[in-house]
Amino acid sequence: MDVRDERKDLLPIPAHLSSAAKAAGWMCRRLVLVVLGKARCQGLEIMLVRRAHQPIDRPERLLHGFPPQFRSSMLEPMASMRRKSRTVKRKRPYDVTLRREQANQNHARIVEMAERRFLRDGYTKTTIAAIAKDAGVSVDTIYKSFGGKPGLIRAIRTRVLLGTGPIPAEQRSDEIQLHQPDPREIIRRWGEFVTEIAPIAAPILLLVRDAAGTHPELRRLLEEMDEDRLRRMTDNARRFVAAGHLRHDMTIADAANVLWTYSSIELYELLVLRRNMPLKTYGRFVAEAMIAALL
């Protein structure tokens, strides 16, 4: 049932009412009540009412000659019925933040379990399946996220270079160079960074160095890590030159080589691991050696 109060012609007319429409002519500015049967063969009654308040039992003109299937007393309550709105269950919004946090936690757990396995079993004997079992993830997850054991080593190195503070060590170093005018104080802070990072980075980096002789993929990774550290030290040297701190007879390349040497794990291995130099003493030694070479 469709009740409309239009202010213009009600067109188009259904095809099966075309003859009645021709007889009635144009239906203009009237209230039209259409009652549809359940099938086309059932009766259809159309009544044209002069005013909207005129009772349905008093039609002005019957446009279709089918016997009415419903009485007006049945139509009146139907005319007042409102179509119920369909309740659509909304999908729960996708929580991107929660999903990202879970992914970060899985990533950190895999890296931690991989480091434990490598240091305990060695690079060769450690398998992706063992790491996946320790981390509670599938083997496919590790391959998709890291690409294999070299990718895990790279992720471990990235994590240890962050240092132990709440702010990554590299960011802290940049802030010191930006706000500290005294070059000696900057270098002394670098010595402190060495003592913070070397103890947690040396085990995995020395493992990579020792295994690189029999694993070509680790040899390439070792070269990549050395080049990355040299790039970082070159950036520090450029900042020193820009600030006017570097000794006049030294080039950026010379300064980068000095910084690269004193930040190496090999020097830490020689003096701390093999000669048992106390860590604080080692930090002061590194700082004073760089001050003497650069300033």
| Confidence bin at 176 (pLDDT 50/70/90) | very high
Percent of the chain residues past pLDDT 70, beyond the cut: 68
Q: What is the pLDDT of residues 199-236, one digit of tens each?
A: 999 999 999 999 999 999 999 999 999 999 999 999 99
The pLDDT value recorded for residue 40 is 46
| Confidence bin at 93 (pLDDT 50/70/90) | low
| Confidence bin at 38 (pLDDT 50/70/90) | very low
Tokens representing 293 are 């070479």
The pLDDT value recorded for residue 16 is 53
- Nearest Cα neighbor of 192 from 204, 206, 180, 207 is 180
Q: What angle, rounded to 10 degrees, do the helices at 96-125 and 183-211 form? A: 60
Any alpha helices (H) in the chain, and if so which ranges? 18-24, 72-79, 96-125, 128-135, 139-146, 149-160, 169-179, 183-211, 216-242, 252-262, 265-268, 279-294
- Full DSSP string of 187-224: HHHHHHHHHHHHHHHHHHHHHHHHHTTT-HHHHHHHHH
Question: Rounded to two decimals, what is the model's pTM?
Answer: 0.66
Average pLDDT over residues 144-170: 94
Q: Round to whole Å and give the CA distance between 137 and 109.
A: 10
pLDDT(26) > 50: no
The pLDDT value recorded for residue 94 is 59
Q: In what order do the strands lie in the sheet with 2-5?
A: 2-5, 31-35, 45-49, 61-62
| Confidence bin at 259 (pLDDT 50/70/90) | very high
Mean pLDDT score of the chain: 80
> What domains lie within the chain, and their CATH numbers?
2-79 (no CATH), 96-148 (1.10.10.60), 161-294 (1.10.357)
| Confidence bin at 182 (pLDDT 50/70/90) | very high
| Confidence bin at 53 (pLDDT 50/70/90) | low
pLDDT(21) > 70: no
Average pLDDT over residues 32-53: 47
| Confidence bin at 83 (pLDDT 50/70/90) | low
Q: Which residue did the predictor score with more confidence, 201 or 73?
A: 201
The pLDDT value recorded for residue 92 is 62
Q: Which residue did the predictor score with more confidence, 210 or 74?
A: 210
Average pLDDT over residues 14-26: 48
pLDDT(74) > 70: no
The pLDDT value recorded for residue 73 is 47
- Nearest Cα neighbor of 70 from 48, 38, 31, 40 is 38
- Spatial contact of 48 and 6, defined as CB atoms under 8 Å apart: no
- Spatial contact of 109 and 195, defined as CB atoms under 8 Å apart: no
Average pLDDT over residues 86-105: 74
Q: What is the pLDDT of residues 113-132, one digit of tens each?
A: 999 999 999 999 999 999 99
| Confidence bin at 254 (pLDDT 50/70/90) | very high
